[in-house]
Chains A and B, each alone.
Chain A
Amino acid sequence: MEREILDMRHTISALVLNQPGVLARVAGLFSGRGFNIESLCVAETLDPSVSRMTIVTRGNDQVIEQITKQLNKLVDIIKVVDFFGSEYVDREMILIKVTAESSSRAEILRITDIFRGKIVDVTPKSYTIEVSGDENKIRAIIDLLKPMGIKEVVRTGRVAISRGSKGI
């Protein structure tokens, strides 16, 4: 069996009981065992007693195997799926507050349009833009807006879902 010894980024989805303390258990597991978290999103599923977490982490095969096993071992975790190597869609939303002087307002609007973003707040000196997309798209819009002067950025972290008709 070929094993990946390089650190790779993995997107892991977990169904967890919607109970206080679950997030602390997951966070504690990562910090206590020295695993890294690049992002973590949690929210309720259609069943209010169950939440779904999307965790983006990085590690070699052995580390990732431990992470998924350790997550599975937590009593409050129902199911764990590592999307690595499978077909899935991931998205992230970002809110960007960018300096918008009269000279640059048109350009910013055009960029926002190209990225199918929305202006969600306007002041005489700034625009706040909402964009969602995969990592490349988010990075691209940030790069394009940087020269205008970005004041603030807030990202949701990634959520992911498998392609095809089956749920996890």
Chain B
Amino acid sequence: MKKTGAQILLESLQLEGVDTIFGFPGGAVIGIYDALLNSPIRHILVRHEQAAVHAADGYARSSGKVGVCLVTSGPGATNTVTGIATAYMDSIPVVVLTGQVSTGLIGNDAFQEADIMGITRPCTKHSYLVKDVKELARTIKEAFYIAGTGRPGPVLVDLPKDVIADSAEFNYPESVNMQSYNPTYRGHRGQIQKAFKLILKANRPLIYAGGGVISSDASEELTAFARTLSIPVTATLMGLGCFPGVDDLSLGMLGMHGTYRANMAVTNCDLLIAVGARFDDRVTGKIDGFAPNAKIIHIDIDPTSISKNIRVHIPIVGDAKDVLKKINKLIQEEKEDWTSIRREWLDQILKWKNTYPLAYEQKDVIKPQYVVEKIYEITKGDAIISTEVGQNQMWTAQYYHFTKPRTLLTSGGLGTMGYGFPAAIGAQIAFPEKTVIDIAGDGSIQMNIQELATVAQYNLPVKIAILNNRYLGMVRQWQGLFHNKRYSQTPLEVSPDFIKLAEAYGAVGLRATKPEEVVPTIEKALSISKAVIMDFVVEREEDVYPMVPVGAPLKEMLLV
């Protein structure tokens, strides 16, 4: 029996295990929306297509599954670009289904036509224009395969209206056979042996863990590796949660706003073991000053990440989980007392920790760090936290001690303001029972504030904690430090009354203006089974420290 393109699409999604998609309808995809009425797939109607991609992305980051979104052609498609670029920079598996004008009209500047393949080529892992309904099932199969394997990433599938309306026999391929795409999962034995020898010899080893540890579900292996050999671990923003943030071996985040001990450890280590990380400039600071005395082992599934910014001594291309498993096996044979062997190095790190711990002073006005710390304590670290971008993001990274993978959703690579709230929606859909909190800035939250309607419509109890400094705080901080406090266009002189705004959308609004109100506000918000905006009126000109100025080596941190 023949099926329409729309039916084939939805049944293919089901066969990929998709139960929920995020989207927004329009003329080019009206046929798909019609078929959705007869499909068990749940559709979450967002209020802006950018949010559809972020929500699919948040769903993917929190659950490990591929996130899916569906939008119409032209403006619907172009509205997804920031979402796609965000997912691309952080290697998040998302399949973006875009409507397109009918094949006969493509290239004619037809109504609501946009060359979305062309526009998104540099920020997708791959993309397809389906020109024949007979190709549809195979294309969907490949799209999911490419999005979710190797170094994950967004894949766009452009669906012309006539292809969706056309019919074909439906045979979903069992497997994918692509001669040109074959990611390397298994690490090279010889390289692993070499790395192992280096690890045994090192006096001051350090693990530098990135988002790849999380995407390959290698936290357990990494934790076992670090603990068995007593090797301290620092994580990138994307890697937070891949190793328990409360472990004695955890140094917290490294890089521009990394902890003093993490950055000092990088500077002084003699062996750096990079796992699923890509030596981003926000992490390395000045390249010459990054791990200047260390041999570097780099484990990554993407060969292009290796020796891109910094020469490494032992590259190992492969899946972090596979490689760490193999290393762990080798370690078992070595029965040494690693804690005493590491004593000196770990003592040194402890000294650094005690010299300059992360610190703030809570006086009369609410400190933003205090809010984050209290959210951490009250949720016992057991919530899914998303962030916006700016100071709110960095304080979250510093003061919420992530202990489990997939509990922090944050736009690391692109730094997309407006990411956190829709990502939280995606996570709440994936985990209806979990506490999901977007730690937000007053600027960023307004970039996708319209999604309050989405949480109202689906009764999603997402919580938003605004660290309201009435500034585009992070930019103001830079202006303060590097532009003589010339606060050009960073004071947010007008913002809505977030309490009233919440109420207008049927959510609850709570405000805290004094330190003693912080804990009750969080507790109250968490007791409400609806969406809540918490508006924390915080110290306006608090800065994020430590800070490594752009272009400086990591050891040159500005401290409080």
Contacts and interface: CB of A to CB of B under 8 A. Distances in A.
Given A21-B117, A28-B122, A75-B146, A69 B180 contact: no
B302 interface: yes
Contacts of A66: 304, 308
B181 to A, nearest CB: 5
B418 to A, nearest CB: 24
Given A21-B117, A24-B118, A28-B122, A77 B304 contact: no
Contacts of A17: 180
B307 interface: yes
A165 B197 CA distance: 41
A72 B121 contact: no
11 contacts: A21-B121, A21-B127, A24-B118, A24-B121, A28-B122, A62-B307, A66-B304, A69-B303, A69-B304, A73-B303, A75-B125
B513 to A, nearest CB: 47
B175 interface: no
A72 B303 contact: yes
Interface centre among B180, B303, B304 (most CB of A within 10 A): B180
B307 A76 contact: no
Interface of A: 16-17, 20-21, 24-25, 28, 32, 62, 65-66, 69-70, 72-73, 75-78
A75 B308 contact: no
B126 interface: yes
Given A24-B118, A28-B121, A77 B307 contact: no
A32 B88 CA distance: 15
A70 B304 contact: yes
A72 B151 CA distance: 13
Contacts of B180: 16-17, 75-78
Contacts of B118: 24
Nearest to A67: B304
Contacts of A73: 302-304
A64 B163 CA distance: 41
Given A28-B121, A32-B122, A66-B308, A75 B303 contact: no
B178 interface: yes
A50 B194 CA distance: 38
A20 B117 CA distance: 11
B179 interface: yes
- What does DSSP make chain A's interface, helix, strand, loop or mixed? helix
Interface in B293-342: 302-304, 307-308, 311
A74 to B, nearest CB: 8
A128 B260 CA distance: 71
A108 to B, nearest CB: 45
Contacts of A25: 121
A107 B439 CA distance: 80
A139 B138 CA distance: 49
Interface in B118-150: 118, 121-122, 125-127, 129, 146
Nearest to A72: B303
Contacts of A69: 303-304
Nearest to A24: B121
Contacts of A75: 125-126, 146, 178, 180-181
Contacts of A77: 180
Nearest to A17: B180
A167 B389 CA distance: 51
A65 B312 CA distance: 13
A138 to B, nearest CB: 33
Interface in B166-197: 178-181
Nearest to A76: B180
B176 to A, nearest CB: 11
Nearest to A70: B304
**Across the A-B interface, the 4 shortest Cβ-Cβ residue pairs:** A75-B126, A69-B304, A78-B180, A75-B181
Contacts of B302: 73
A16 B180 CA distance: 8
B122 A65 contact: no
A32 B179 CA distance: 26
Nearest to A32: B122
Nearest to B155: A75
Contacts of B179: 78
B551 to A, nearest CB: 19
Contacts of B308: 66
A66 B303 CA distance: 9
Interface string B96-135: 0000000000000000000001100110011101000000
Given A25-B121, A66-B304, 15 more contacts: A17-B180, A20-B129, A28-B122, A62-B307, A62-B311, A65-B307, A69-B303, A69-B304, A73-B303, A75-B125, A75-B178, A75-B181, A76-B126, A77-B180, A78-B180
Nearest to A3: B311
A77 B304 CA distance: 15
A21 B56 CA distance: 26
A76 B128 CA distance: 11
A25 B302 CA distance: 18
Nearest to B131: A20
Nearest to B121: A28
Greatest chain A CB density within 10 A among B118, B304, B308 is at B304
